[in-house]
Amino acid sequence: MSAPAPAKIATDPVAELARQIYVALTSRVYSAAASAEAGLPQPQALAQLSFSLAEAFYAEDRDANPVTLAAAAAARVPTRFDAKDLDLGSLQQRR
């Protein structure tokens, strides 16, 4: 018998972006540290910076991305609904 497929875990897009930023930051900071004699930042500080950058990116993306703005505008378009749209005759029919 084959093993069951692993369940897909819902991921937070901010956390995923923060993870990618953290990996990039740590690889740059610690690889450059071999040649520099300056103090290295703590990994926790880099993680906090990564989350701050990811949250700032998504906040700005909501405000400035034309695709996101168009989708939000389309969601806010009111739907016209009049009494003539109702099928009141079906209420009178016996079932």
pLDDT number for residue 36: 60
Task: Please provide the DSSP assignment of 15-30 as one string.
Answer: HHHHHHHHHHHHHHHH
CB neighbours of residue 22 within 10 Å: 19
Distances (CA, A) of 51 to 27, 59, 92, 94: 16, 12, 59, 61
Mapping DSSP to helix (H, G, I), strand (E, B) and coil, where does residue 43 land?
helix
- Global pTM value: 0.58
Do residues 53 and 14 lie in contact, with contact meaning Cβ atoms separated by under 8 Å? no
pLDDT at 3 over 80: no
pLDDT one-digit tens code per residue, 23-74: 999 999 888 766 666 678 899 999 999 999 999 998 888 778 788 778 878 8
Give the C-alpha separation, 43 to 67, whole Å.
35
